[in-house]
Structures are given as C-alpha cells and as structure tokens.
Structure 1
Amino acid sequence: MPAARQHLFLLCLLLPISLSYEIQLILVNNCNYSVWPGVLGSAGHATPEDGGFHLGLGEEAVFDVPSWWSGRVWGRQGCGFDGQGKGSCDSGDCGGMLQCKGAGGAPPATVVEMTFGTDRSPLHFYDVSLVDGFNLPVTMAPVGGGVGCGVAGCEVDLNVCCPSKLEVKRNGKVVGCKSACLALKADKYCCTGDYGSPKICKPTLFSHLFKSICPRAYSFAFDDSSSLNICRASRYLITFCPPAR
C-alpha cells in the first residue's frame, strides 16, 4: 500500500475515536447525613466506580462515562461497612457491599435513570423514577443549561408523608416509602397481567400522591413520558437532598 493511502487508512481508523466524547457526572451530597451512591450500567454497559462509594456531608464525586452510556444512580443511607467493604444499608442496599459491582439497589429507592447519545445522535435522556419507591430526595440537571434541558427529580422527602401501608422503618424511623406495587403486589398497581398496557393501567391513589408532591418524577410504570427530559449537554449534576426551590 502506498504511504499516502496507508496514512489515510490509519486516519480513518482513528477518526471515530477522536470524534467520541465522554459525559461528566457530578454527584453531590447536600443531605445532613452520609450518602452512599450506587451506580449500575444497563445490560451491555460498564459500571463505573465499581458501582458504589461514600459521600460525606457536602462532599462530591466526579467521574466520566462514555457518550453512549446507559444506567442508573441511586442513594443509599444508614450504611455501615467493615474494612472489606461488607455490611448493610437501611435503604437502597446492594447485596451488603460498599461497591455494588453490577448489583442493583433494593427497593424502595429513588432511582436516577439516564441514556446518553453519541456524537452522531447527541440527544441525552434522563429521568427520576419512583416506580421502585422512594428513599431520599434527588435531582439530575445539566450543568450550565443546554438545549431543551430540564430538571428531573423528587426534591421533597416523601418519607414524612408516606402512607402507613407503604412505610419501611428501621429502629422506629421511616427510611423508605414502598411503591404500591411492592407493598400490595397486585396487577393493578404493578401494571402487569390484565393491566399490562398503558390503556388499562392508570394512575392509582398512591401514584397520584407521589406525582402531586414530586411532579418531575414518574410514579408508575407507564408514567415515564410525563417526566422524561431530553437534553444536549456534556456535564450533569446529580444532587442528593437538593435545596428547596
């Protein structure tokens, strides 16, 4: 192969790499207690930061994910781990490990979901889900704004107004609020079985309660379109216990 063509061939191989970019996630703990974020990549996607770490009061963590990354982030609270990273959390626990390493959080947990685009299709999708219940307030928003960008999240502590049937308590304190599906285990609340379509599965009293308090989070299986954010930005801030607006 002539030298000029060889150089052009190598350039073509490197071009996709040079055009690729990363998304920066900034996780901030604004709570008055420690939070242990959990991170999980979707099927086929890597899990960054070994899936979990500790954030003390006012601390932040910054890491990058590939532009095409898809996954979720949630907060754990009331955790205790030994020197080997084994222990437990009052809410959001991932198999009793500090580093979740591919394990999801046990419900109830407030979950931040995201799917990032690529350089060719740069739209990013993100939302905050209460489908698995609630354990602590959290929001996700672009840093510095962006085209079509908004704030997803639940900024209110739902634990203080959680119906008694849905409460999860540790040592007498409410540490989580179950979804109606998890607590009552009925197709009507889980959008399964005879209720497995958007036309049939409608908001219930419990999902209406969650939605009225946290309108920027989705509250049952077929409510995601009401709170989905579509954005073009390269940096996103995930805040646990965000300041009241």
Structure 2
Amino acid sequence: MHAPPVPSLLIILIFLISFCAAADGTQLIVVNNCRETIWPGILGNAGHDTPSDGGFRLTFGQQVILNLPERWSGRIWARQGCCFDGDGKGSCQTGDCAGQLHCAGAGGAPPATLVEMTLGTSTNAKHYYDVSLVDGFNVPVSMIPVGVGVGCGVAACEEDLNACCPKNLAVICQGKVVGCKSACLATKDPKNCCTGEFAERKSCKPSTISHLFKVICPRAYSYPYDESTGLKSCRAPRYVITFCPPN
C-alpha cells in the first residue's frame, strides 16, 4: 500500500495554500499519496453538515481543500477499489457507504481507518482529532497541523497493517488483503467491543489485536479507551490529511 512520497511540486502547492486562511473555520487539505485512486468519504456527526456531499474521487497526487465551519465534528476515511456508474452508484472493496459515490450522510462500512475530529474555534478553542483503528484498518493515514499551532500533536497510522493482519481478521479481495478487522468487528464479543458489562474504562481492556495495532501504530486509537495516547489536540488554522503518508 505504501507509495513514493508526494511529488515535490504538490508539497510546495500545499504549503502555499496553507497560508491562505479559511474564513471563520478550519481548513483541511486532503491528499492522496497512494499508488491507486481512492474515494474519501466524509460524515458529519449528528447536528453537523456533511461537506462535498459526503465523498469524492481522488487520484494519486491529487489534493482537495475542505473549509469546515467552527465547531464542526465528524470523520473522514478512504474508500478503495470503487466502481461507480454515471449516476454515482456502485460499490467499494473497503469503506463503502451504501453503494454511493456521495455518501450523503451514510457511514463507511468497516474495516476502515478513520480520521475523527471535533473542531473548536479559529481564535481560542482547541481542535481534538485522532486516527482510529477501533473499526479496523484499510489504508494508512495521518493528520498533521500546518502553520502556527499550540499544543499540537500528530495523529497517524503510517504503516500498512494489512501486511501483518492475522488470517482470521483479513478481508481479502481478488487474492489481496485489502482490510484488517478489529477484534470487536470480527468477534462481536462485548469484551472486545467495550459494551455491556465491559462498557466502563475499568472493565474494558485492549485485546491482543489492539496491542498489535498499538505497537505498529502508536499514534492511533487502538481501542475505545485509548485517548491517553490516541487523542491529539491543537489550535492550528489548517491540517493536512494524507492517505498513504511517507514514513
């Protein structure tokens, strides 16, 4: 899944763009550094709008700028192996959202690597964000602040977890591992999902696969109560989200 670094001209373009402030909000620069076309999906949480109708196509080396309003909350993920007709209907190997090019309020089918965020204001309230493997993994991704920021961290899973995914958790398409399920997704066991009698922090412990994810991707959420190392915060005006980031 790893690809050569983003072309130098694109890097220059990203940083030139980064000095153009988003009006009254936060700017996301979404970059595809994978060797294949991906289809990012976007979902606003309850009470929040979903930009770009929830999804779009992004070829290798392309980038899209999203200007999000203050206090926006939602998620973004990569869909891969998609095929859509002229009406935007079809399917994806991973991250599919109800068979639509524009997710328009539908979430992505797991396993999928999620970038989650709850934004503050452009003046003083912090932004909180993370890369989550709680619903499994499909594509490496990072979220990095750009410009002047306070108390900033990098959220990322930069390695290809598909390469070391246990066979019983692997999602295989045309002979290739395209996704890796989390223990919760694979077993539906409350103990692995932190539900039922295991819903509280004191009773919810990381599974063996969560430990594996954490060792390989220490800057990502590996299970529901992993905020001590998984959750990041910042007061930057813009962020770069890179699918298949160079590591």
**For the residues of structure 2 that align with 1:181 and 1:26, how far apart are their CA atoms?**
31
Structure with the greater alpha carbon radius of gyration: 1
- One of 21, 24, 36 as aligned partner of 1:21: 24
The residue that corresponds to 1:221 in the other structure is 224
Output the amino acid matched with 2:75: R
Post-superposition offset of 1:121: 4.3
User: Cα deviations across residues 11-69 of structure 1 (Å, max 9, x unaligned)?
Assistant: xxxxxxxxx81111100000010110000001000000000000001000002010110
Asked whether 1:102 is paired with 2:105, we answer: yes
- 2:111–2:179 CA contact under 8 A, matched in 1: yes
2:143 maps to amino acid: M
Q: Please identify, of 20-29 and 64-73, the stretch whose mean Cα deviation from structure 2 is larger.
A: 20-29
Pick aligned residue for 1:191 from 184, 194, 203: 194
> Which residue of the other structure, out of 62, 67, 73, is the alignment partner of 1:64?
67
Q: 1:89-168 maps to which residues of 2 (within 5 A)?
A: 89-119=92-122, 121-168=124-171
CA distance in 2, matches of 1:217, 1:59: 24
Corresponding position of 2:239: 236
Is the 8 Å Cα contact of residues 73 and 118 (structure 2) preserved in structure 1? yes
Aligned-partner SS, 2:186 = helix
Aligned pairs for 1:35-74 within 5 A: 35-74=38-77
Which consecutive residues of structure 2, in runs of 5 or more, have no partner in the other structure? 1-22
Partner SS for 2:222: coil
Kindly report the root-mean-square deviation, in angstroms, between the aligned alpha carbons of the 2 structures: 1.1
Report runs of 4+ in structure 1 exceeding 6 Å deviation. Answer: none
Shift of 1:224: 2.6
Instruction: With the length of structure 2 as denominator, give the TM-score of the two structures.
Output: 0.89
Distance 1:120 1:196, change over 3 A: same
Are the equivalent residues in 1 in contact too, given 2:25–2:121 (CA < 8 A)?
A: no
Residue type of the partner of 2:230? Answer: S
Q: Could you tell me the TM-score, scaled by structure 1's length?
A: 0.89
What secondary structure, in the 3-state scheme, does the structure 1 residue paired with 2:201 have?
A: coil
* In 2, Cα distance between equivalents of 1:21 and 1:225: 30
CA distance, structure 1, for counterparts of residue 147 and residue 123 of structure 2: 22
Gaps of 5+ in 1: 1-19
Conserved 8 A contact 2:25-2:122: no
How many Å separate the matches in 2 of 1:119 and 1:26?
A: 16
1:201 maps to 204
- Between the aligned residues of both structures, percent identity stands at 64
